[in-house]
Amino acid sequence: MKRLNVLLSGVVVICILLYLTGARLERTEGHSGSRTLTIYNWGDYIDPALVKKFEKQTGYQVMLETFDSNEAMYTKVQQGGTAYDLTVPSDYMVEKMAKSHLLIPLDHAKLKGLNHIDSRFMHLSFDPKNKYSIPYFWGTLGIIYNDKFVNGKDVQHWNDLWSPRFKNSMMLVDSVRDIMGLALFSEGKSANTTRSNEVQAAYNKLTKLSPNVKAIIADEIKMYMVKEESPIAVTWSGEAAEMLDGNEHLHYVIPSEGSNIWFDNLVIPKTAKNIKGAYAFINFMMRPENAAQNAEYVGYATPNRTAMALLPKSIKNDRQFYPSDQTIAHLEVYNTLPSKYLNLYNDLFLQFKMH
């Protein structure tokens, strides 16, 4: 009997040790658990109320991590240190990640709600069959101005930025493709050109813009424009939307001759451990009521056509952020450039910043 008691005691001890070991592993590797969903997103890029709603409806626990650039996100996913189940790359980065075998192809049979996505925003150049990505938000590059200091008629086109009246009064986003792009657009060229003479001509034109440039900055541009530190800037539509909320004198213009249209997208990276949860989240975000709520919170344009009907008229009829089909027809998605030309763009932009 004593031998049996000892044996039973040993079994109990082993069970306790196994339980504690499992609990420890769950604490240290909880991000990969079947009921945990780890999302790697841009900062403040989803309504927190929607995250709670998703958790309540599905039973998943969402862990959010944020990044501030596509390149930082790419590096983190490539390193594979964290098992991200979903991330949100921009158009050209979807293409780059796919070519680097960092994405899991989507099973469209598991997607519910694709019929709500505007057909104009499907099958685009960076992912022709939406094999890897589902549109999350979209926007444009344009000009923002303060009507207390600038007449709107004077800033309808990219070439207007070179006017001597804007000397030392303009802020530009610190973005190679966007600033090189606006110079190319101003000349009627593609922002994806791989013709060295066109890229060089764009740089030469930018050097003539230098006298008008007060600063080339990143997120601070929002604060400076709201506080009227500068009367004019080049920025993205989502950033502009936030600025307009902070200052009624600000307006956003998309030059009719052409500009960039960008897309941020939901993808499942190779690091994913909870693929079932990833599909559940994608489907949740494609529901029109959720997409509309998210668009109101974030301020960027939703690609969800059905959700548009649920948005207030003040939002969905605002041509600054939901431009007409005619305007959209002149917008261009950035493609991934061959490294030779990407280096050329980068080098010339750096020279421009030092000019």
Identify the CATH number of the domain defined by range 139-261+324-354. Answer: 3.40.190.10
Task: State the DSSP code for 174.
Answer: S
What confidence score (pLDDT) does residue 16 get? Answer: 46
pLDDT digits (tens, 9 = 90+) for 265-293: 999 999 999 999 999 999 999 999 999 99
Identify the CATH number of the domain defined by range 30-138+263-316. Answer: 3.40.190.10
- Model confidence at 6: pLDDT above 70: no
What confidence score (pLDDT) does residue 238 get? Answer: 85
What confidence score (pLDDT) does residue 13 get? Answer: 44
Q: Between 219 and 202, whose confidence is greater?
A: 202
- Cβ neighbour number for residue 340 with a 10 Å cutoff: 9
Contacts of residues 220-224 at CB distance under 8 Å and 24 or more positions apart, as own/partner, are 221/171, 221/173, 222/246, 224/171
| Angle at alpha carbon of residue 284, lines to 281 and 285, rounded to 5° | 90
Q: Is 123 left (phi over 0), alpha (psi -120 to 50) or beta?
A: left
pLDDT digits (tens, 9 = 90+) for 43-80: 889 999 999 999 999 999 999 999 988 888 999 999 99
User: What is the C-alpha to C-alpha distance for residues 331 and 262, in angstroms, rounded to an integer?
Assistant: 9
pLDDT digits (tens, 9 = 90+) for 163-173: 999 999 999 99
| Angle at alpha carbon of residue 224, lines to 219 and 230, rounded to 5° | 125
pLDDT band at 19 (very low <50, low <70, confident <90, very high): very low
What confidence score (pLDDT) does residue 57 get? Answer: 98
168: nearest Cα among 136, 140, 139, 210: 210
Least confident of 111-120, 265-274, 320-329: 320-329
Do residues 300 and 238 touch, judged by C-beta distance below 8 A?
yes
Mean pLDDT of the chain: 90
- Cβ neighbour number for residue 63 with a 10 Å cutoff: 16
pLDDT digits (tens, 9 = 90+) for 156-207: 999 999 999 999 999 999 989 999 999 999 999 999 999 999 999 999 999 9
Q: Between 65 and 32, whose confidence is greater?
A: 65
- Model confidence at 27: pLDDT above 70: no
- Model confidence at 7: pLDDT above 80: no
How would you label 114-150 residue by residue, b for 16+ Cβ within 10 Å and e otherwise?
A: eebbeeebbebebbeebebbbbbbbbbbbbbbbeeeb
